[in-house]
Amino acid sequence: MTGVSSLRLSPVSAARGVVALPGSKSISNRVLLLAALAQGTTRLEGLLDSDDTRVMLAALRQLGVQVRSLGPTEVEIQGGSPFAVRHGALFLGNAGTAFRPLTAALAMMGGDYQLSGVPRMHERPIGDLVEALNALGAQVRYLGASGYPPLSIAPGSIQAERGIRVKGSVSSQFLTALLMAAPIHTGAGRDPLTIEVEGELISKPYILITLNLMARFGVTVQREGWQRFTIPAGSIYRSPGTLAIEGDASSASYFMALGAIGGGPVQIQGVGSDSIQGDIAFADTIEAMGAQVTRRAASIEVSGVQVARGGKLKAFDLDFNLIPDAAMTAATLALYADGPCTLRNIGSWRVKETDRIHAMHTELGKLGARVESGPDWIRVHPVAASQWQPASIATYDDHRMAMCFSLASFGPVAVTILDPDCVSKTFPDYFSVFRNLVQT
C-alpha cells in the first residue's frame, strides 16, 4: 500500500478471526533506550517495526550505540553510558517517545547535540521538560519558539541535591523521560535523585510502564503516590539479557472494537490480562458498551452486536484520562451507540500527533454525526441509518485517525481514508490485517 494517497473502504457487516499484534510502541522505544544505557548486551524480541522505532534505532546508531539487527522484530544492543558520540544533529520525526526521553538522556549525559523533527513535532510542547532539566543544571535551549523543539543541548553540571520538579498536566512523557534518564547520574555518583510532580499527573498507566521496565533493567524507583519519585544512589542500568516485548494494547483497541460491532468473535493475540499497558483497560470500556470479553493471560477475545444489521452499543459518559490513545477508538464507536457518548478529561489529545479533539470533531461530522467538544471533552451523537454521509476522512498525519476511521466502514456508505500510509508510524500492515478480518 506504500505511496497510496487514499483508500476506499466499502461497507462491511461482520468481523471475525484471529490477529497477532505488533509489538507495543510504548514498550519498544522505552526498552531500546534502556538497553542502550544498560551495562551489557540485551536481546530484544518482538520489537515493533515502525516509523517511530526506526527513528529511535537510527538515533542510537548515530550516537555510537552498537545495534545488531537479528530480524525485523529482533535486535541485539551493546549498551553503556555515556554514548560514544558526544555531538551531532538528530532528526526524530514525529516520535514523542523518542524525542522526549532522548532529550533528557543527552542533557543528563552531556555533549553537544541538536534535536529536531517534522513541523508537527515543533508544535508539540516540551517546555516543562526543558525547564526541569535546566533547573537541575543541564544546558538545553530552544532553537525556535520558546517551549518547543528544535533544541540544542550543551554540556551542563547536574546538581542532584536540587532535585527535579516537573509539571504533570501536559504529558506523562516528560516524567517518563526524567525517570529513564536519572540513572545516568545516580549510576555515576553517590547521590540519589528525587523527582517531584507539580499538579495532577495525567496518563498514570504510562508511568507504571516506565517503572516496570526500569525495574527489569535493575533500577527500582521509590514512589510516594504520584507526586514524588526517588531514584536511589548507585542505581545503574544492567542488561536483563533477553526481553520479550508484548503486543501493543493501543492497537488492540481497534480489533476489540471490530469484535464489538462486527459480531465476532475476534481473538487478539499478544496482549491480555498480564499486560503492563494501561490501554488494556479498553476491554472494560467495550464490555460496558455491551460486548462480551474473554480475557486470558496473553490474549483477549471479543464478540458483540452487528451494527450493520441494526445492533446498537450502549452509550457512555466516561473519564478517559488514563487511556487517551484507546479513547479515540471509543469516540468512533459512538457512531453506533443508542445515545450520545461523552469522553471527558482528554485534554492531552490537543498536543498529540495532531489536535485530536479538533480532528475527531471535524471528521466525525463529515460522516453525519452531530459532535460537540470543549477544551478537554468531546460528545458524539450516533448516526441514524438514513443520515450517514459518504466522506473522505483527513488523517492529519496521525496514525490513530486512520485506524479509528476504518471502523466507519460498518456504516451503510463507503468511507475513504486519505493518506492511509500514516499508519506506518505504529502499524504498517494495519489495513491488510483489517481486510482479513471483515466481511461484507
Q: CA–CA separation, 392 vs 417, rounded Å?
A: 6
Asked if residue 246 lies in contact with residue 278, where contact means CB atoms within 8 angstroms, the answer is no
Which whole-number Å values give the CA distances from 439 to 126, 273, 409, in the listed order? 44, 28, 11
Q: Which residues are CB-contacts of 384 (< 8 A; sequence separation ≥ 6)?
A: none
- DSSP class of residue 274 equals T
Q: CA–CA separation, 360 vs 270, rounded Å?
A: 28
Residue (of 362, 367, 314, 365) closest to 336 by Cα position:
314
R_g over Cα of the chain: 22
Q: CA–CA separation, 66 vs 428, rounded Å?
A: 26
DSSP string computed for 165-182 = EEE-SS-HHHHHHHHHHH
Lateral strand order in the sheet of 164-167: 164-167, 193-198, 228-231, 222-224
Asked if residue 166 lies in contact with residue 195, where contact means CB atoms within 8 angstroms, the answer is yes
- Catalytic residue at 325? yes
Asked if residue 239 lies in contact with residue 39, where contact means CB atoms within 8 angstroms, the answer is yes
Q: Which residues are CB-contacts of 164 (< 8 A; sequence separation ≥ 6)?
A: 132, 133, 135, 136, 178, 193, 194, 195, 196
Catalytic residue among 52, 248, 325, 419: 325
- DSSP class of residue 400 equals H
Number of H helices, E strands in the chain: 12, 24
Question: Which active-site residues does the annotation give?
Answer: 325
